[in-house]
Each structure stands twice: as structure tokens, then as C-alpha cells.
Structure 1
Amino acid sequence: MSSPQLFLDEPFRSLWAAQDPFAAVEALQGTVYRELEGRRTLRTEVAGRGYFVKIHRGVGCAEIVKNLLSLRLPVLGAENEWLAIRRLTEIGVDTMRVVAYGLRGSNPARQRSFIVSEELAPTVSLEDYCLDWPNNPPAVGLKRALIRRVAWIAGSMHRAGVNHRDLYICHFLLHLDSPPTPATLRLSLIDLHRAQLRTATPRRWRDKDLAALYFSVLDVPLTTRDLLRFLTAYFARPLRLVLREEEALLGDLAQERQRLQKRFARKSAAGEMT
């Protein structure tokens, strides 16, 4: 049996002194956001400060087989999120700060793990921040700065060999310590439990992330110039080269957008008829 992996920072280093961290994390109380047989997510408070806790109890052989037969990669525990956060922090991408992490067991079906991160507050998700843009457009400079920052985060992540697998704008948090301006805005990328890490991100997984991001801004009033601005910042290359070298990607994204728009139009029409 492999040795447990364990990282504890304050306040949990002191709070769990002389305790089994794997038992102590199970005893934490708070607001539960998700409760499944193999996973629990909650928000807890220690000394007036908020923390998010994810506990993985092993998914079981049946769940692993079911995911593989569906051509999906199962989430086996907290290790991928721990490693992804470390790598993003190394390259300067703002993300969660881990204060406790543990992994025990070598059998993926029975492995137990947990990760505790500081609550990022005050923040708002980009999805919520953009909701009123059709009625209340942001200042042009701020919108362009946000586009460039999202593009830089996505590009930096992919160039560092990380793909998110849930890259929607709801997983970008805008910090509100002070009113965001083009010069001071700060975005953090969260929810990395499905992330994959390699020495280089395969084109297939890069494009899946970009398609997800593109889909998540369908209701955000972005112009063609805004999208071109994103591509220039994401690829960090002149636009003329991007348009020439990434022609296949751009075609795929356009088709995916049309497909999703038609799909949701059909769903809306069906809802109105019932």
C-alpha cells in the first residue's frame, strides 16, 4: 500500500494536530452543496473565514467501468485538482489557494482524498457579472480587458499542459475587493476537479475547452471584433497568422455554435407549446 500524501497549512495544521486528517475532514460541518455516494462538497467556516471542502471516498469499480464505457474519464479523487492548482499557481494564473490536501490508498476505486481551499470572496462569476450586459453594457475598456484576461488565462493554462474540461465563464471569478477597472481587474479560475495535466495539451482537448467557453458566452453580447480580440490574446500571435493557421478550429467553433443555437431554439419552442 502506498504512503498517504498529506499537505496541511494553517488553520488546519493547528486544528487537526494529533488527529487523523481523513477523519477530521469528514467531521467538518457547514453548507453542503453536493452529496453523492462517493463525493461530498461543502462550505465551512473556521475562525470566521470561509473554506470550500471536497471529499472523495472512492467511486467504486462499477462507476469507473460505466464512465469508461461512455467514453468519459472518471474523476477518481482530489489529486488532479491539487496538481492543476499547483501548476496554474506556478505559471501565475490566479486560482484557489489550497490549505489542506490528503490522499490515501492506491486502488483508484477505493482511494480516499480531500482538498480544502480558501473561499474567494468577495467575488462574482463572470456568468453572473455579464447577465445584465444586454441592458447595461459595460465600459468598452473594461469589456476588452476582461476578454484579454480570459484569453490569457485559457492560453497560459493550455500552454502549460492543463485542460479544464469544464471551461465555462461561470468558472471564472471576478474579484470585487475594489470596483474592477481595466488596470486592476483580477480573475481566478476555479473548479479544476476534472482537469487533466500533461507536458503539452493535445489539440483535441484544447479545442474542447475552447468550444465549451464559446458556448458559455452565447448570451453575452460580444461582437465579431471581441471574438477576434480573444483569439489574438489567446494564441499570442498576430491575427492574420491565427486566421490562417487555425482555420479548422474556427470552422469547428462556428459549426458548434450554430448547432447549439438550433438545439436550444428547439427546446424553447417545445417549452412554449407545452
Structure 2
Amino acid sequence: MALYLREDFQQAWAGKDAFAEAAALTGETFRHKEGRRTLRFSLGGRRYFLKYHAGIGWGEVLKNLLQARAPVLGARNEYEASLRLAALGVDTLTPAAFGERGINPARRESFLITDDLADSVSLEDYCRDWPTRPPALHERRRLMRVVTGMVRTMHEAGINHRDCYLCHFLLYPDTLAQATIDSDVRCHLIDLHRAQIRDRVPRRWQVKDVAGLAYSAMDIGLSRRDWLRCLRAYAGVPLKTALGRDRAFWLAVKQRAEKLYRKDMKREPPPWL
């Protein structure tokens, strides 16, 4: 069994079974299926998010394996990924409580409670009107550098997200408007429950993350020059070097992103990379 309780939950749950307390929490429910329940709740005048895993069962485990997908067995991945990203200076979830018990992977019980990122907005929503109401040029470029830098840092640390889309980046807009340097911007990477942690991210998982992010940004009005700036920021080398040395990687990203776009949007993607 593993258990972590921050001081606020040590006090709130003193002398109680933390797993029973987590299972009994109620609030605004966002998901409740496949053995996982996600909700926002309040405790002691503060708001939190709960992800509670009751075990997905062997049927769901086998279904995922047959689809060549790694099943999500509990909250540990998200907990460990958030700690590692925070240690690297990447804004992400802040754990307030974590618990895991049980040997059977299909019936393992776990939970993760994080601080609520109140007043933040997903980049999917924030960028939605950019084609008709473009932001200030310096703000757009700063946000592009921040997001691509976050993904680059994540991959260099051996973490891949597996759901790397604009909707999973939560921005505090005021910090972007008032920023004088990139580190002033508060943009949090969330939904890490499918994250994988290794010594090094395999290329196919890098492609998946970068292509997912590119696909989700295809309709926000970025120019070809914007895309090339993102490419350079992610590669961390001059553009000419990145396009030469990593040509096969970026071709794979382009093909995967455009395939996703055609599948979901039922139309050809706009010109981009």
C-alpha cells in the first residue's frame, strides 16, 4: 500500500480510512465509467479534483491489450508524472493526496486528489477565436514557445503524455497578458493518467504527442512561419539543422497529424508545415 496526504488532508482525515473517505467524496462529476470517477469537490473552503480508480477488471485490461494499448490501471502514473514534471519546472497538477492498495492489477484501488486550477482556461477554448480575433503577435509567439517548451522538457525527461492536445493545457490568461519573460506565463499540463515514464521516450510516442498537439492547433490560424517557430522551439536547434537532421521525424509528425485531422474533421487539413 502507498499513501500520501498533504497537511490539509492529514487534518481533514485524521484517524479515518483515507480510501473510504476518497471513495465517498461527492461533487461535480466529469467522468464515471471504466472503473474511474473524476469530480470536483470542496473541502475546508478549498476546491480540489479527485480521480478515483476502483479497478477496471480483467475484461477491460484484455480489451486494451488486444488493441495494443497500455491499460490505465490506477492513479500512480498521473501522480508520479506530475511530481517529475513539477521538479523540472513544468506547471502541472499539484497533488494533495494519493493512495494505492491491492496486488491484483485489475482490481487495484487508487486515488489522486489535486488542487483545482480555478480561473484557468483550456488552450482549446482560449485559441478558438484566433482566426477571426488574433491575439497580439508577441503574446501568440510567447505562448507558442511556452507550450512547445513544455512538451520538449517532458520528452527530454522520459515522459510521454499520450493525450497531448490543446485542451489539456490550462492557461491563466492574465499571466500571458502581463508576462515580461516566458517563465511568467502560468500554463498547466493536465490529464496525465495515461502518461508513460521511461529513461527515454521512444520515437513513436514522441511522434504521437507532437502530432496530437499539431492536429489540435490546425484550425487556430497559425501561419507557416508560426509552425516553423514551433518546430525550432521543440527541436532546440536552428531550423535548418532540425529540418535536415530530423527530417524523418517531422515527416512522421506531419503524416500522423493530417491523418487525425481527416479522420475527425472529415475534410482536408489546412496548409501548415
TM-score interval, smaller chain = over 0.9
**One-letter amino acid matched to 2:228:** L
Q: Are 1:243 and 2:243 matched, yes or no? A: yes
SS at match of 1:96: coil
Distance 1:172 1:265 in 2: 21
Query: Which digits, 9 at most, give the CA deviation of each residue in 1:89-128, with x for residues without a partner?
Result: 1111110100000000121011100000000122111110
1:224 match: 224
Q: 1:97-246 counterparts in 2 under 5 A?
A: 97-176=94-173, 178=175, 180-183=177-180, 184-246=184-246
**One-letter amino acid matched to 1:103:** E
Distance 1:193 1:265 in 2: 26
Distance 1:161 1:174 in 2: 24
Distance 1:222 1:176 in 2: 19
Q: Check 1:218–1:66 CA distance in 2 against 1; reply closer, same or farther (3 A cut).
A: same
Of the structure 1 ranges 29-38 and 95-104, higher mean CA displacement relative to structure 2 is found in 29-38
Instruction: Show structure 1 runs of 5+ residues with no match.
Output: 269-274
SS at match of 1:76: coil
Shift of 1:209: 0.5
Distance 2:162 2:118 in 1: 24
- State whether residues 55 and 108 of structure 2, in contact with CA within 8 Å, keep that contact through their aligned partners in structure 1: yes
- State whether residues 121 and 175 of structure 1, in contact with CA within 8 Å, keep that contact through their aligned partners in structure 2: no
Distance 1:34 1:185 in 2: 29
Shift of 1:264: 4.7
Distance 2:175 2:154 in 1: 26
- State whether residues 146 and 182 of structure 1, in contact with CA within 8 Å, keep that contact through their aligned partners in structure 2: no
- State whether residues 212 and 257 of structure 2, in contact with CA within 8 Å, keep that contact through their aligned partners in structure 1: no
**One-letter amino acid matched to 1:29:** T
- State whether residues 73 and 106 of structure 2, in contact with CA within 8 Å, keep that contact through their aligned partners in structure 1: yes
2:16 match: 19
Instruction: Show structure 2 runs of 5+ residues with no match.
Output: 269-273
**One-letter amino acid matched to 1:162:** I
Q: What's the RMSD between the two structures over aligned residues?
A: 1.6
Q: Check 1:251–1:177 CA distance in 2 against 1; reply closer, same or farther (3 A cut).
A: closer
Q: Select which of 70, 84, 88 maps to 2:85.
A: 88
Q: Check 1:147–1:179 CA distance in 2 against 1; reply closer, same or farther (3 A cut).
A: closer
TM-score by length of 1: 0.92
Distance 1:178 1:212 in 2: 25
Shift of 1:254: 2.6
Q: Check 1:210–1:151 CA distance in 2 against 1; reply closer, same or farther (3 A cut).
A: same
Runs of 4+ in 1 over 4 A off after TM superposition: none
Shift of 1:135: 1.2
Query: Which digits, 9 at most, give the CA deviation of each residue in 1:171-191, with x for residues without a partner?
Result: 111114556344232211000
Aligned-residue identity in percent: 48
Of the structure 1 ranges 49-58 and 227-236, higher mean CA displacement relative to structure 2 is found in 227-236
Aligned residues, how many? 265
**One-letter amino acid matched to 1:128:** D
- State whether residues 35 and 54 of structure 2, in contact with CA within 8 Å, keep that contact through their aligned partners in structure 1: yes
**One-letter amino acid matched to 1:122:** D
Distance 2:14 2:145 in 1: 44
Distance 2:50 2:198 in 1: 26
Distance 2:173 2:262 in 1: 36
TM-score by length of 2: 0.93
Q: Are 1:46 and 2:43 matched, yes or no? A: yes
Query: Which digits, 9 at most, give the CA deviation of each residue in 1:19-40, with x for residues without a partner?
Result: 0000011111211111115111
